[in-house]
Structure 1
Amino acid sequence: MHTLENMKISKKEIIIECSIQLFNQYGFKKVTVEEICDTSNSSKGTFYKHFSNKIDLIIHIVSAFVNEGNERFKNLMKEEIGFEMLVKEVLYLKQDIMGKYTIHFLTDLYESDTLEVQEILNKLHEDSINNSLMMYELGIKQGKINSHVTSDFFLYQLEILDKTRTDPRVIKMYPDFKKRNMVIFNQFFYGLVKRD
C-alpha cells in the first residue's frame, strides 16, 4: 500500500486511497482512524490536518464520486451522441465509478444513519433523477421514446434497469460486465422480440 508514496501524490491523497482500500475490505464502520493512519503511514496529526474525523473523510470520498459522475454526465450531454448511446454510456459511467467500491463500503454507506452521510446520499439521488429527466427529454425530442411513456414511468424503468444490473442472480448469469450491460441495455430498449 505504501507504493502510493512513490507516485508523488499528496499525503491527503494517500490517506484517501488507503481509506478506500480499507473501507472496501471491511466497510467503514469497522475501520478506525488509527488503522487508516497505520495503513497510510500517517500520523494522527496529519490525518486531522486534512479531516476533522472519519465521517468528514467519508463525506469527502462520496462527494468526489458524486462530482465526478455529474461532470462526466455533463460532458456526455455536450457530445450530443444520441439518446441510445447516451443511456449506454451512462451505464458504463455508473459502473466505472461505483465499480471502485465494494459491497462492504456501499452497504455501510447506504445503511448509515449519520445526518451528513444521508444528506450526500440524498444529493446523489436528486442528481440522478435530474440527469435521468434530461435523458428522458432528449429521448422524447429525438423521437426515441414512445410519447405515451411518461417521465415517471421512464424513471421507474431506469430503477428496474439499475437493480437488474446489480442483482446477484443476473451477475451470476452474466458475469462479464460488458455482456451483462449489453443484454440489459437491449432488453431496456427493445424487449424480448428480436429485431433486424
Structure 2
Amino acid sequence: MEIKTKKRSKSYVAIMDAGKALFWKHGIGRVTVEEICEVAGVSKMTFYRNFGNKIEVAEKVLVKWYEEATADYRKIMDSPMPFYKKIHLIVQLEHDWSQDLSKEFINDIYGKSDPALKNILEEFQQASMLAFREDLRSAQEKGEIRKDLKLDFVIYMLNGLNEKMSDKNLVEMYDSPQELAVELANFIFYGIMPTTDQ
C-alpha cells in the first residue's frame, strides 16, 4: 500500500509540473487534459485518478505557487536585514515568481478566469495585503519607511495592480508580463522608502 501511495504521488507531481509549465506558457484556456498527460508522461486514466479536470489542476497549481511565494516572502520579512534590503529582495522575488508567465496566462487569470480561480486569487491577495500592511506598520514604527506614509494608500495602490496587469494597452508597452510586474513593483515599493533628509 505504501508503494501505491508513492507511485500516485509521483504522477500527481508530474501532472502538477506539466500543468504549471503549460499554463504558464499558453494560458489555461488553450491547454487540454491530453496535453497535460503527454507532458507529464501519464495516461488519461491516471490523470483522472488524481484530478477531476484541468481547472482543478490549475487551482492546485495556483495554491502551491502562492504558498511557495508566501513562504519566500515571509522568510525575507522575518530576516534581520534592513527594510530597504527586504524591499529589494521582494522586488527580485516578484521578478523570479513571474518568470515564464505568458500574456495568455495573465489574461486568463486577471480577465476571463474561472470563478474558482478568481476566488483563490482574491483570497491570496487579501491575506497577502493584510500581512504586508502589518509588515509596513512595523517598519514604520521602527522608522524604516516614511513616517508620513498612509499605509491604506499603499494597500489601495497595490490592489490596483491587478487591474493594471489586465490592461491590454499597458501590457503591450512591455516585452513580457514579468517586465511589467517588476516595473509596477519598483514603482510602488521604492516610493515608500524614507528620503535621505528624514
Structure 1 length-normalised TM:
0.74
| Deviations 1:22-66, CA, capped at 9 Å, x for gaps | 223321112111222123221111101111111110011000111
**Contiguous gaps of at least 5 residues in structure 1:** 1-8
Runs of 4 or more above 4 Å deviation = 157-164, 166-172, 179-187
> Which residue of the partner structure matches residue 60 of structure 1?
60
SS of aligned partner of 2:144 = coil
> Which residue of the partner structure matches residue 133 of structure 2?
133
> Which residue of the partner structure matches residue 98 of structure 1?
98
> Which residue of the partner structure matches residue 49 of structure 2?
49
Return the alpha-carbon distance in structure 2 between the equivalents of residues 20 and 43 of structure 1.
18
One-letter amino acid of the structure 2 residue matched with residue 135 of structure 1: D
Could you tell me whether the CA contact under 8 Å between 1:27 and 1:108 is conserved in 2?
yes
One-letter amino acid of the structure 1 residue matched with residue 90 of structure 2: V
Q: 1:146 to 1:78 in 2, by over 3 A?
A: closer
Q: 1:110 to 1:88 in 2, by over 3 A?
A: same
Deviates more, 1:12-21 or 1:118-127: 12-21
Could you tell me whether the CA contact under 8 Å between 1:16 and 1:61 is conserved in 2?
yes
Return the alpha-carbon distance in structure 1 between the equivalents of residues 38 and 101 of structure 2.
21
Return the alpha-carbon distance in structure 1 between the equivalents of residues 139 and 98 of structure 2.
25
Could you tell me whether the CA contact under 8 Å between 1:83 and 1:142 is conserved in 2?
no
Return the alpha-carbon distance in structure 1 between the equivalents of residues 74 and 186 of structure 2.
26
Return the alpha-carbon distance in structure 2 between the equivalents of residues 37 and 182 of structure 1.
36
SS of aligned partner of 1:188 = coil
> Which residue of the partner structure matches residue 38 of structure 1?
38
| Deviations 1:100-125, CA, capped at 9 Å, x for gaps | 42222222122244221121011121
* CA-CA distance at 1:21 after TM superposition: 2.6
Q: Identity rate of aligned residues, in percent?
A: 21
Mapping of 1:147-166 within 5 angstroms? 147-158=147-158
Q: 1:90 to 1:161 in 2, by over 3 A?
A: farther
Return the alpha-carbon distance in structure 2 between the equivalents of residues 59 and 182 of structure 1.
25
One-letter amino acid of the structure 2 residue matched with residue 13 of structure 1: V
Structure 2 length-normalised TM:
0.74
> Which residue of the partner structure matches residue 3 of structure 2?
none
SS of aligned partner of 1:28 = coil
| Deviations 1:85-138, CA, capped at 9 Å, x for gaps | 122211111221122422222221222442211210111211221132023112
> Which residue of the partner structure matches residue 11 of structure 1?
11
Return the alpha-carbon distance in structure 1 between the equivalents of residues 140 and 161 of structure 2.
19
